[in-house]
Amino acid sequence: MYPSSATPMTHHRPAFAASFTAPLPRGVRAAAESVSWDDFLAEYAPSGGPLRMGQWSCTDAARPGRRLGPQSRGYQATLAFGDTVSTSRAAASGPIAALTAMLHDRGIALETTSFHQLPTGGRTATFLQGSDGSRSMWAMGLDADPELSALRAVIACVNRLMSA
């Protein structure tokens, strides 16, 4: 049978969830099973928004540990909010804590309430649920580097909360 102009052709795109071998976090599972990869990214990992991150670095990564257990490290980021671009610095036990502190210093509240990382296609997908104190949203970051994936998820979550 040949399709006619009266019979629309539909292209079935696999659901976002099909890209993972492990179950996705409960809070995004239904959406991930019902939309395509591109549609999920557009919703949960927006590429635009008022908050953007440029450079990111651990400023003392080469410093040897002097004691056992978690140790504070120095981090630096170039952050843009709207048309304002500036460099922020923070000392924290890890990159997410550092970025959260940098955002707090700019008056942007974000509490991470759930955090999951899963491999997919040679990259790491970070699913993060965050709250600004009055609303809660899920967001996603994607990168070959798990740390950058997590930071992208933080930025995406702030942008989703600001646009809600």
- What value does the mean pLDDT take over residues 33-41? 96
What is the pTM assigned to this prediction? Answer: 0.88
pLDDT at 3 > cutoff 60: no
CATH superfamily of 23-59+73-163: Alpha-isopropylmalate synthase LeuA, regulatory domain (3.30.160.270)
H-state helical runs in 79-164:
95-105, 146-163
Q: What pLDDT, on a 0 to 100 scale, did the predictor assign at position 11?
A: 56
Residues 6+ away with beta carbon under 8 Å from 118? 20, 22, 24, 124, 125, 127
Rounded Cα gap, residues 95 and 17, in angstroms: 27
Q: What pLDDT, on a 0 to 100 scale, did the predictor assign at position 2?
A: 42
- What value does the mean pLDDT take over residues 45-72? 83
Q: What pLDDT, on a 0 to 100 scale, did the predictor assign at position 13?
A: 77
CA-nearest of 21, 69, 27, 33 to 153 is 27
Q: How confident is the model at residue 30 (pLDDT cuts 50, 70, 90)?
A: very high
- What value does the mean pLDDT take over residues 58-62? 83
Kindly report the average pLDDT of the chain as a whole number: 91
For residue 121, give the amino acid letter: G
Q: How confident is the model at residue 81 (pLDDT cuts 50, 70, 90)?
A: very high
- Residue of higher predicted confidence among 67 and 157: 157
Rounded Cα gap, residues 99 and 111, in angstroms: 11
